[in-house]
Structure 1
């Protein structure tokens, strides 16, 4: 199994930004509302991915 290097984490940042803005842009037309929704979506995605990371880390730790 190949270990994941920190460089691969740099792909997460532009992907997070793109997903957040596309999701917000499809639901609102006002730029202020798009920015607010994009931040909320980004926080939600980071929290969800953080939870998955912690779960996988714990599973790997105990196996």
Structure 2
């Protein structure tokens, strides 16, 4: 099994930004509202991914 290097995490940043802006852009037309919604979406995605990472890390510790 190949280990994942930290360089692969750099692909997550543009993906997070694009998902957040597309999601916000489909719900609002005002640029200010799009930026606010994009920030909230990015925060939600980061929190969700962080919880999954923490769960897998803890499970990996005990295996």
TM-score (norm 2): 0.98
SS at match of 1:29: coil
Residues 1-63 of structure 1 mapped to structure 2, 5 A cutoff: 1-63=1-63
Equivalent pairs counted in the alignment come to: 63
Q: Displaced runs of 4+ in structure 1, greater than 6 A? A: none
Aligned-residue RMSD, C-alpha: 0.4
CA distance in structure 1 between the aligned counterparts of 2:42 and 2:31, rounded to whole angstroms: 16
Q: CA deviation at 1:4?
A: 0.8
Q: CA deviation at 1:2?
A: 1.2
Q: CA deviation at 1:16?
A: 0.1
